[in-house]
Structures are given as structure tokens and as C-alpha cells.
């Protein structure tokens, strides 16, 4: 009797797992796919980064009473990423960025914020990600950050470019 009952119960349990697997798979697909709304939100950062890269380096001006830098902000023109690479982690959905940050300022910096732009292999834009690094980079030195988790990226991302967008004096 027990053998006959187990033969009947197994197909019923197997039929219950199929809808559960479909719902979980659909949810994961929605999380990993790139929607048009995400691209529209990320466009201002891309244009901001393009403007920063296209501006020629000008001689520093003396601060005036009307236009002063925020208290404790570092000079970003003396900070740069000298080398960078990236790879996928977390089953291919997370971006892990490795880079070397150079600090040519006369002071140490901390709370460094980077922005990474991810593109397809053909150069079309996919997404932007920000990351705050709570580490300190000493005066006139460089520091290598290995496999920093920047965030989730689209599976079609093939290229990444990161830039320092904010830092504070230590």
C-alpha cells in the first residue's frame, strides 16, 4: 500500500515544483535585465563624465568669497586612476573592479567616491554605478584596490571606465 501511495504522490509533488521554478526564474530575469528606465536615469552621469574629460586642464584660480569649494573637499584634478581592469563575480551579475588610485595632492584623502560607466562591446551605454571607498590614500602616493564590488551590471556589459568623482581631505 505504501509503495502505491508513494508512486501517486511523487508526480503531484513534481508538478508543484515547475510553477515555483518558473516564478523564481522570471524574478531573477527581471532583476538582471536592463530596462529602458535605468538607461534614462544614468544618462546625466555619462554626460557629466564626458564634460569632465573633455575640459582642458586650466590653471587653478584663487578662491573667491562667492565661489569656494566645500569644506574638506579634495582637489580632484590631482587625483586619478592610473590603471584599471574589471571582471565579473557573483555568477556573472556583479562587477569587480581593480584599479590603482594616485594622489598627487599635498594632503591625504579619504572617503573616495568613484563612478563606473559600463558599455556594450560596440560602445553603446548600458549602466552607471557609484561606490564610496572609506579608505585613506596618503600624500603623494598611490594605492591599489583589488576586486572592489561596484554593483550589479547587465550581462551584456563588455567595457568599463571608472573615474574619481569626490573625495575628502583626511
Structural domains in the chain (count): 2
Quick check: is 128 in a domain?
Answer: yes
Per-residue pLDDT tens over the stretch 148-161: 999 999 889 999 99
Please indicate, yes or no, whether residues 23 and 86 belong to a single structural domain of this protein.
Answer: no
- 66 located within any domain: no
Domain of residue 107, residue span: 36-53+71-169
Q: Over the stretch 103-141, which tens digit does the pLDDT of each residue have?
A: 999 999 999 999 999 999 999 999 999 999 999 999 999
- Tell me which residue of 157, 63, 167, 57 sits closest to 117, measured CA to CA: 157
Tell me if 58 is assigned to some domain.
no
CATH number where 132 lies: 2.60.40
Same domain? For 96 and 135 the reply is: yes
Query: Residues 6 or more apart from 140 whose CB is under 8 A from it?
Result: 103, 104, 105, 106
H runs (alpha helix) in the chain: 2-32, 36-54
Neighbours of 114 (CB within 10 A): 23
Residue at 45 is within a domain = yes
Amino acid at each position: 500500500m505504501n509503495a502505491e501511495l508513494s508512486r501517486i504522490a511523487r508526480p503531484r509533488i513534481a508538478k508543484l515544483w515547475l510553477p515555483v521554478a518558473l516564478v523564481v526564474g522570471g524574478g531573477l530575469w527581471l532583476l538582471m535585465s536592463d530596462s529602458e528606465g535605468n538607461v534614462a536615469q544614468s544618462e546625466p552621469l555619462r554626460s557629466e563624465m564626458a564634460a569632465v574629460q573633455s575640459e582642458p586642464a586650466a590653471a587653478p584660480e584663487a578662491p573667491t568669497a562667492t565661489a569656494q569649494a566645500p569644506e574638506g573637499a579634495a582637489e580632484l584634478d590631482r587625483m586619478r586612476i592610473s590603471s584599471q581592469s574589471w571582471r565579473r563575480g557573483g555568477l556573472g551579475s556583479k562587477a569587480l573592479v581593480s584599479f590603482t588610485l594616485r594622489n598627487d595632492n599635498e594632503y591625504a584623502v579619504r572617503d573616495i567616491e568613484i563612478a563606473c560607466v559600463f558599455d556594450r562591446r560596440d560602445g553603446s551605454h548600458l549602466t552607471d554605478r557609484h561606490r564610496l571607498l572609506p579608505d585613506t590614500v596618503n600624500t603623494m602616493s598611490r594605492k591599489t584596490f583589488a576586486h572592489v564590488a561596484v554593483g550589479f551590471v547587465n550581462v551584456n556589459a563588455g567595457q568599463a571606465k571608472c573615474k574619481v568623482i569626490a573625495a575628502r581631505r583626511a
